[in-house]
Structure 1
Amino acid sequence: MSNKLEILEEFKQAETKLNQLKSKEANTAASRTDDTIVIQPKFGDEMHELNAKCAQLSMVIEAMNASED
């Protein structure tokens, strides 16, 4: 099993990547006109996977913190 620092680093990397994808998605959807636009997700699958990974790593970190108490 990985140590806590490795898990924290993996979490931080996944969270950073997720935030970058969200930012790209938002910039892609930004309207340059007053017309109605339809947003087509470009990074949906990858963002979903990263969300799941972050949630799982967060639970592992919480469990490790609880076991230290």
Structure 2
Amino acid sequence: MARAFLHNGDLLILDEPTSNLDALNEGSILKSIRDYHQEKTIILVSHRQSTTAICDQVYQLKDRKLEMSS
């Protein structure tokens, strides 16, 4: 993830970036992602609601359909 931040691209795709982390490290990673997102598009794939809580828009896959979460 550090390499992705240093590369400074316009798009970042993260698949379960906080899996297997304790709550303290998860919070640190999510804060870094939140701070990094300015003027960038980040696609964050996660099963954890705590991870997706930092997202501006959340979509869920239900019955093979992509739905915007409320």
Structure in which a larger fraction of residues adopt helix = 1
TM range (shorter): 0.3 to 0.5
Point out the structure with max Rg over C-alpha. Answer: 1
Highest RCO, 1 vs 2 (Cα 8 Å, sep ≥ 6) = 1
User: Normalized against structure 1, the TM-score is what?
Assistant: 0.34
Structure in which a larger fraction of residues adopt strand = 2
